[in-house]
Amino acid sequence: MTTWIDASCILIVFFALSILATSRIVGMIQIFVLQSFVLSLMPLFLHANAISAHDLLLSFGTMLLKAALVPFVLFWAIRHISMRSEVKPLIGLGSSIVCGALLIAGAFWVSLSLRLPGRPETDLGLPCSLATVLLGFMIMVTRTRAVTQVIGYLVIENGIFLFAVSLFDAMPTLIELGILLDIFVAVFIMAIVLNHINEEFEQNSDIASQSKMGETF
């Protein structure tokens, strides 16, 4: 099973890197779905010997919320917002990829000095989750569109979740579900705010301000 766990960790970072390298918003969301899907399988891989109801619930909950509902809300939001589908990065995609590679190296370097207590299933959980969080920050900071910032936030959350899932099981189910639900509601509210912003622009019908808002929001 270790091979599968390791492969999932690597894949999650790889997807984060791909989101960073993608130039279309729809593509970003699709890759995010893949990432969330792999993430939701992690609890099952980790406890493959004895899958408990808790693992099933967590896995199913993650899959439902992150791989289905959240992308649905995001797609709903971009359908309602008349914006072009190209991502507007502050720094070019090529430089983003190189920076992303360096961030991954940084995450591994930091993890060298952090010793985990107990015997975790995989030693890749910590560095990969840190790398995903850093890449999420990178997406958030270097992309100017509002939707892409939300995606960056979600990637950060996925990284934190990878950390939580792969390293310990001290959290009660209820808290874990609370966290999941909170993230979903956060995205939902962000989508609504985005929609309001869009309505506000359409009412103003000032072409100049509209295009400007499209850039910053």
Partner 1 sequence: MILSIFFHWFFVCLTAPFFLGVIGRVKAFASGKVGPPLLQPYFDLGKLFRKRSIYSRNMTWVFRLAPAVTFAAMLAVSLLVPFGALKAPVQFEGDILLIVGVLALSRFFMIAAAMDTGFSMEGMGASREAFFACLSEVALFMNFITLALLAHSLSLSRMLGADSPVSWNLLGPALLLVVASFFIVFLAENCRIPIDDPDTHLELTMIHEVMLLEHGGVDLAYMFYAAAVKFFIFAAILVPIILPVQTEYLCVRMMSFLGGMLGLSVLVGIVESSMARIRLDRVRNLLLISFALAFFGLIVALWRG
Partner 2 sequence: MILSLLILTPFLCAVSVLLPVRRMFRVWMLCAAAVAHNAVVVSFWFRLPPAEWNGYLVLDPLGLIVLSIVSFLFLFVSVFGIGYFEHEQRLNRTFMTCLLLLLSTMTLVTVSYHMGLLWVAVETTTLFSAPLISFHRSRGSLEATWKYLLVCSVGIALALMGTFFLAIAAHDVRTLLLPSLLSAAPLLSVNWLKLSVIFLLVGYGCKMGLAPMHSWKPEAYGQATGMAVVLMAGGLTQCAFLAILRVSQICFKTGLSDFFSSILILTGVLSLVVPAIFILAEKNVKRSFSYSSIEHMGILALGLGLGGVGIFGALFHMINNALAKVVMFLTAGSIAQKYGSSRVDDVRGLIKTYPVTGLFLIVALLAGTGMFPFATFHSELMVLNAAVISGHYVLSGVAVLCLAVMFIGVSRIVLEMVHGQPTEPLLAKKENPFMNVAIAAAAVALVGLGLWMPQPLERVLREAAALLGA
- List residues binding partner 2 (CB under 8 A): 114-118, 133, 140, 146, 149, 153, 156-157, 160, 163-164, 167-168, 170-172, 175, 178-179, 182, 185-186, 189-190, 192-194, 196-197, 200, 204, 217
As measured in angstroms, the least distance from the Cβ of 135 to partner 2 is: 14
68, 89, 123, 210: which one contacts partner 1 (CB under 8 A)? 123
**Segment near partner 1 (CB under 8 A), from 48-56, 97-105, 161-169, 175-183?**
97-105
Under the binding rule (CB under 8 A), the answer on residue 9 touching partner 1 is yes
> Using CB distances below 5 to 8 A depending on partner kind, what does residue 101 bind out of partner 1, partner 2, none?
partner 1
Directed axis angle between helix 70-80 and helix 173-204, to 10°? Answer: 0
List, in order, residues 6 or more apart from 122 with CB less than 8 Å away.
Answer: 2, 5, 6, 9, 166
Site for partner 1 contains 108 (CB under 8 A): yes
Question: What are the backbone angles phi and psi of residue 16, rounded to the nearest 5°?
Answer: -60, -40
Q: State the minimum distance, in angstroms, from the CB of residue 132 to partner 1.
A: 12
- 216 three-class SS: helix
| CB closer to partner 1 out of 1 and 185 | 1
Alpha helices by DSSP H, 22-89: 25-46, 53-62, 70-80
Q: Which residue has the tokens 């990432």?
A: 35
DSSP code for 64 = I
Burial 53-73 (b: 16+ CB within 10 A, else e): eebeebbebbbebbbeebbeb
| 186: its two tokens | 């956060």
Q: How far is the CB of 193 from partner 2 (least distance, A)?
A: 5
Note the residues at the interface with partner 1 (CB under 8 A): 2-3, 6-7, 9-10, 13-14, 17-18, 21, 23, 93-94, 97-98, 100-101, 104-105, 108, 111, 123-124, 127
